[in-house]
Amino acid sequence: MKHMFFYDESEHSRKLTKGTVNANNFASHFVVGVIGFLQNDELSIEHGYKILESMRPSNELKSKTFKFSQFENGFASLNKGNKKLISAYIDFLISFNLYNYISIINKLEYVVLQLFKDYKNSIFGDMDVLRYVVSKLLNVYKPKAVIDALYRNDGTFIGELKNFAVEQIKKNKGLAHKEAENRAFNELTILLSDYNQKYIVDWNYITPFIGFQKYLDEMKIADYELNIDKEGEGSTINSAQYAGLINVFEVKSTESTGIRIADMFTGIISKLIKSMDNDMDYKTHEDSTKYTILSVGWFNLDEESFFLYKKLGKVIFEQHQAHFKSFAGNYSDTFIYFIAFLGYIHDVKTYDEYVNTEIAEHQKRVNNQALGNLQYHSDKMTMKIPIKKLEDDSKDYYLNQKGAKTYRDYKRHDMLKIPPSSKKGAGIVYDVLSVGSFGVMEQPCVTILENGNPVLYLLPMELLDWIIFCVGLAMKGTDLFPNKVMFHNLKGHYYADVL
């Protein structure tokens, strides 16, 4: 039996510029919503929605009906008229048991994926996790100089990103819960050391359609029609077809009830997520040193607001359940938090039960649920072939990946002997197993094969750039080691050549 689907998008910002990013109403996420139903039900659904639209003087019910400022604290800050209208809309979704699909893409993550698309996972670092962390740092801190440079695209982005990493490491010094962040900054500086600054970001937004195809496959829907809100020059329909979708058409919202239904659905979800993102955003540097939770305003719910969330939860969690009912990128923290919040309200049985619990307790429970979901999301990203951990925290040393004894106090290691040579090509040759550094690019080091055993030595700071270059190649999938390396000391200047 044929299914009819209708696609709409919110906050697409197809051409991101410095002005777009710094605008007060800039949204970090691109949100897609799809609404669907059986073709046999089309006439009754259109009739029902037109009755709903008659509640508006314009006889057109779309998401622009509601100002973003009304969603400052989610449904809690809506005025009575808008609560009534949204309640009637969600009742409509429930009464007709409409299909619904959501895709969330973080715009800055999309750029990061483009920047580091050629880098592979290796023993030197997990690029999937690093791409996630860099995306998160840009979204959380929103470093103005970095974002400005990114959208100017004038070649200064890499330098600004490196400067931001170095400065943030200094600010994080002494903060135990920022140690993992600093390790990520360390890896980031390695990646950026030899990066080609000329790149093109292709804003094709194909990802939502990839997810929607997975949704159709999971639901075993083969006979369908996908209608897309006609905007621009057809780039959206091209992305859909590129993703392998068939029977795709462009229609105007004024001529399609289904598009207007999808517009409302997408707009409500988008405004809620954008408001939550704004609420939890770091406002000052001091905010970055503390854990952020959703503010009290989101939990100060009257009975009508409470049941709005309950009904939206029914639509999201109960109607046509499917794994691929939502599809998001790796950096989808705000969406994960939103789902935790909505799921928590959905599970509270009565309004009396809700109001008889302190708001601080609600905040804590939602935050714990969100953190659990985020941890699960992180675990899925890091489910790779495990590397045996050889460290014993009770000792003052551990064995590195090549089995060399590595002191936690690196100053206990000897410097690699590189005697003076008279000319290039007359240096000393070592069997190098691996290279790396201690701390945040603090001290370069090398593991060599010596009398059949791996031994770690320090290298002169002058060879740090060479170390960064080698590790950067490894992250791209080209590991130079093990290999023979000739080290030179020419008039006090150090060089290294892989033979």
Q: Which residues contact 28 (CB under 8 A, 6 or more apart)?
A: 106, 107, 108, 139, 274, 277, 334
Strands (E), 12-117: 29-38, 99-106
The closest alpha carbon to 329, from 126, 99, 30, belongs to: 30
For residues 306-330, give the mean pLDDT.
Answer: 93
- Residue 27: pLDDT over 80: no
Mean pLDDT on 441-466: 88
Helices (H), 295-358: 303-317, 333-347, 351-355
Residue 120 pLDDT class (50, 70, 90 cuts)? low
First to last CA, the chain: 66
Do 374 and 408 reside in the same domain of the chain? no
Q: Is residue 40 part of a domain?
A: yes
Residue 283 pLDDT class (50, 70, 90 cuts): low
pLDDT, position 436: 84
Average confidence (pLDDT) over 321-343: 90
Q: How distant, in Å, are the alpha carbons of 102, 207, 489, 492, 493 from that of 422?
A: 67, 58, 8, 11, 12
The pLDDT value given to residue 378: 60
What is the band of 383 on the pLDDT scale with cuts at 50, 70, 90? very low
User: For 28-42, 304-318, 388-402, which range has the lowest pLDDT when averaged over its residues?
Assistant: 388-402
Domain C-terminal end among 330, 351, 381: 381
- 3-state class (DSSP) for residue 102: strand
Tell me, yes or no, whether 361 and 410 share the same domain: no
Residues 16/23, Cβ–Cβ less than 8 Å = no
Q: What average pLDDT does the segment 164-178 reach?
A: 80
DSSP state of 461: G
The band of 59, judged by pLDDT with boundaries at 50, 70 and 90, is low
Mean pLDDT of the chain: 82
- Per-residue confidence (pLDDT) for residue 213, from 0 to 100: 94
Residue 389 lies in a domain: no
Give the domain extent around 488: 397-498
CB 341 within 8 A of CB 301: no
Give percent of the chain above pLDDT 70. 81
Query: pLDDT confidence of 84, banded at 50, 70, 90?
Result: very high
As a whole number, mean pLDDT of residues 71-97 equals 94
Residue 274 and residue 422 share a domain: no
Task: Give residue 5's pLDDT.
Answer: 98
289-302 pLDDT, tens digit each:
555 789 999 999 99
Which of the listed residues 381, 413, 439 is the one where a domain comes to its end?
381
Helices marked H in 54-100: 80-95
> In the beta sheet, which residues pair with residue 224?
3
Exposure b/e, 447-461, CB count within 10 A at least 16 = b: bbbeeeebbbbbbbe
For residue 397, report the phi and psi dihedrals to the nearest 5 degrees.
-150, 170
pLDDT for the residue numbered 441: 66
Choose among 496, 498, 462, 461: nearest CA to 480: 498
Domain boundary among 381, 413, 441: 381
> Same structural domain for residues 287 and 332?
yes
User: What is the mean predicted confidence (pLDDT) over 345-355?
Assistant: 95
Instruction: Give yes or no for residue 273 having a pLDDT over 60.
Output: yes
The most confident of the ranges 111-125, 295-309, 401-415 is 295-309
- In a domain? residue 390: no
Residue predicted with more confidence, 151 or 292: 292
Note whether 76 and 213 are same-domain residues. Answer: yes
Closest CA relative to residue 120, chosen from 489, 483, 480, 477: 477
Q: Indicate whether 303 and 231 sit together in one domain.
A: yes
Nearest to 37 by CA among 50, 28, 46, 29: 46
| Residue 18, φ and ψ in degrees, nearest 5 | -55, -45
Pairing type for strands 224-229 and 3-10 reads parallel
Residues 212 and 87 in one domain: yes
Residue 170 lies in a domain: no
Whole-angstrom Cα distance, residue 334 to residue 280? 9
In DSSP terms, 248 is beta-bridged to 226
State the pLDDT at residue 285. 54
Cα separation, 190 vs 63, whole angstroms? 45
Please give the average per-residue pLDDT across 33-37, as a whole number. Answer: 97
213 shares a domain with 90: yes
Q: Are residues 360 and 260 in the same domain?
A: yes
Higher pLDDT pick, 304 / 436: 304
| Burial class of residue 493 in the structure, from the number of CB atoms within 10 Å of its CB (0-12 exposed, 13-18 middle, 19+ buried) | exposed
Total domain count for the chain? 2
Q: Are residues 277 and 323 in the same domain?
A: yes
Once rounded to an integer, what is the mean pLDDT over residues 3-9?
A: 95
User: What are the angstrom distances between the C-alpha of 224 and each of 36, 199, 217, 219?
Assistant: 10, 38, 11, 12
Structure-model confidence comparison of residues 87 and 473, the more confident one: 87
422 located within any domain: yes
Among 35-39, 194-198, 331-335, 412-416, where is mean pLDDT lowest? 194-198
pLDDT at position 323 over 50 = yes
Q: Band the pLDDT of 151: cuts 50, 70, 90.
A: low
Mean pLDDT score, 66-78: 90
Which residue shows structure tokens 């705000």?
A: 334
pLDDT-wise least confident of 240-244, 318-322, 477-481: 477-481
Q: Are 285 and 210 in the same domain? A: yes
CA distances for 460 relative to 40, 272, 355, 443, 444, angstroms: 75, 54, 65, 8, 7
Instruction: Please report whether residue 194 resides in a domain.
Output: no
Residue 322 lies in a domain: yes
> 45 lies in a domain?
yes
pLDDT surpassing 80 at residue 279 = yes
**Of 71-85, 181-195, 393-407, which one has max mean pLDDT?**
71-85
Whether residues 298 and 375 fall in one domain: yes
